[in-house]
């Protein structure tokens, strides 16, 4: 599989895994209205993942004579170390504060990424981003308002946001570390190096944190992690997630409804 | 600590949706939300996810004042037999088509 296909699959994996995590809230949301809100976001992300998987499958089939893979093969039949999503998005839901902060971190990133990818030399990538950025802009607004509401809320909600920051902050650095497929994407004009998004990401996130009376995060902090989701080295959580998500296709290959 | 049901914490809001340009906002239902931003976003997620609207109004339910059902006799019945209040007793010129 060529590097650019991996670049597209990386975008798809991020959206699918976070979408799946959010879908775990369906039926368990803190109140009915927020249950629907988080489920809507889950559906948006899974829809974006489908678009990227379809594009990747099409590209792989064109480049490989005889190959006939589909979006479903990519989503349901790859193993943990073939997944290229960030460590951030595979983190367990925890409480509502952690789910909100994870969404806020990711949407802040995804919004900046899609905004740059609108200029991609790869027309299909630009088209997917143009369609998706409206959804992402809403996810960013929604999660940012929740960060403020919880951070500047009650003593308990503030404490829970601090815990969420402690849990998730070690996963931030990976968003801006390049993988080999990103160098290729940047060189060909299809994509960008996310390092270029870093300064603006921290500025935007910290602005919300100040309003939310939460401590700001620093880009100076060195990444302590040995893991790199982008390169297929995941935390222990992703295997369990895939076991549940892929069960049906593994147990009943080719099943559909 | 016993958790309170959200209805004791969060106010109720009435939601009005305008389906298309040129139509009125119509009452769509009600929902709970902690503040006005959340109320509008909840309304968006609950009532417009199947493309039902282009504009949303929300108002806290406590700010809506209603007529009293026990007074419906004196309120509404007197209008029953006043057919002449309908503009149906005029002869319209033939040239007028769209009335």
| B52-90 confidence digits (pLDDT tens) | 999 999 999 999 999 999 998 888 888 888 888 887 777
The predicted pLDDT at position A54 comes to 98
CA distances from A189 to A54, A118, A184 (A): 20, 11, 9
Give the minimum alpha-carbon distance from B67 to chain A in angstroms, rounded to a whole number.
29
Residue B32 lies in a domain: yes
Any A CB within 8 A of B15 CB: no
Contact A36 B6 (CB under 8 A): no
**Quick check: B6 pLDDT over 70?**
no
% of chain B residues with pLDDT over 90: 55
3-class DSSP state of A85: coil
With bands split at pLDDT 50, 70 and 90, how would you rate the model's confidence at B5? low
Output the six-digit token pair for A56: 């990747």
The predicted pLDDT at position A222 comes to 65
CATH topology of domain A3-251: Ferritin (1.20.1260)
Of A221 and A130, which is predicted with more confidence?
Answer: A130
Residue B94 lies in a domain: no
Q: What is the mean pLDDT of chain A?
A: 95
The predicted pLDDT at position A1 comes to 82
Q: What is the mean pLDDT of chain B?
A: 88
Q: How far is CA B31 from the centre of its chain?
A: 14
Residue B18 lies in a domain: yes
User: With contact defined as beta carbons under 8 Å apart, do A129 and A118 qualify?
Assistant: yes
User: Looking at residues A1-15, what average pLDDT do you find?
Assistant: 96
- Residue B67 sits in which domain range? 6-85
Distance CA A106, CA A96 (A): 15
User: With contact defined as beta carbons under 8 Å apart, do A177 and A228 qualify?
Assistant: yes
Residue B36 lies in a domain: yes
pTM for the whole structure: 0.89
The predicted pLDDT at position B1 comes to 47
Residue B95 lies in a domain: no
DSSP-assigned letters across all residues of B59-82: EEGGG-----GGGHHHHHGGGTT-
Instruction: Report chain B residues whose CB lies below 8 A from the CB of A145.
Output: 37-38, 41
Contact A36 B37 (CB under 8 A): no
Instruction: Report chain A residues whose CB lies below 8 A from the CB of B35.
Output: 149
User: Looking at residues A236-247, what average pLDDT do you find?
Assistant: 95
The predicted pLDDT at position B87 comes to 77
The predicted pLDDT at position A227 comes to 74
Domain ranges of chain A: 3-251
User: Looking at residues A231-244, what average pLDDT do you find?
Assistant: 94
Residue B1 lies in a domain: no
CATH number of the domain residue B11 falls in: 3.10.20.520
% of chain A residues with pLDDT over 70: 98
């Amino acid at each position: 599989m060529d590097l650019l296909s991996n670049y597209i699959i990386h975008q798809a994996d991020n959206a699918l895994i976070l979408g799946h995590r959010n879908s775990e809230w369906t039926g368990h949301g803190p109140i009915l209205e927020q249950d629907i809100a988080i489920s809507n976001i889950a559906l948006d992300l899974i829809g974006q993942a489908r678009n990227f998987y379809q594009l990747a499958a099409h590209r792989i089939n064109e480049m490989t004579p005889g190959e006939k893979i589909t979006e479903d093969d990519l989503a349901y039949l790859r193993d943990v170390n073939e997944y290229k999503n960030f460590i951030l998005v595979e983190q367990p839901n925890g409480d509502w504060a952690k789910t909100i902060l994870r969404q806020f971190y990711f949407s802040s990133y995804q919004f900046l990424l899609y905004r740059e990818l609108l200029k991609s030399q790869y027309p299909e990538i630009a088209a997917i981003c143009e369609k998706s950025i409206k959804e992402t802009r809403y996810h960013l607004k929604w999660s940012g308002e929740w960060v403020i509401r919880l951070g500047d809320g009650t003593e308990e909600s503030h404490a829970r946001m601090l815990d969420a920051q402690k849990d998730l902050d070690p996963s931030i650095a990976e968003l801006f570390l390049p993988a080999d497929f990103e160098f290729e994407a940047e060189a060909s004009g299809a994509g960008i190096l996310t390092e270029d998004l870093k300064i603006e990401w921290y500025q935007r996130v910290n602005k919300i944190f100040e309003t939310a009376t939460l401590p700001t995060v620093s880009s100076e902090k060195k990444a302590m992690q040995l893991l790199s989701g982008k390169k297929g080295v995941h935390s222990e959580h992703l295997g369990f997630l895939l076991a549940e998500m892929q069960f049906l296709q593994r147990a009943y290959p080719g099943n559909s409804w | 600590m016993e958790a309170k049901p959200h209805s004791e914490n969060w106010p109720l809001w009435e939601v009005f949706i305008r389906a298309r340009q040129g139509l009125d906002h119509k009452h769509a239902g009600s929902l709970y939300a902690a503040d006005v931003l959340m109320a509008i976003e909840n309304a968006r997620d609950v009532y417009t996810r199947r493309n039902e609207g282009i504009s949303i109004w929300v108002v806290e339910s406590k700010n809506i004042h209603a007529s009293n059902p026990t007074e419906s006799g004196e309120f509404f019945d007197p209008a029953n037999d006043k057919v002449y209040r309908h503009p149906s007793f005029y002869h319209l010129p033939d040239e007028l088509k769209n009335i």
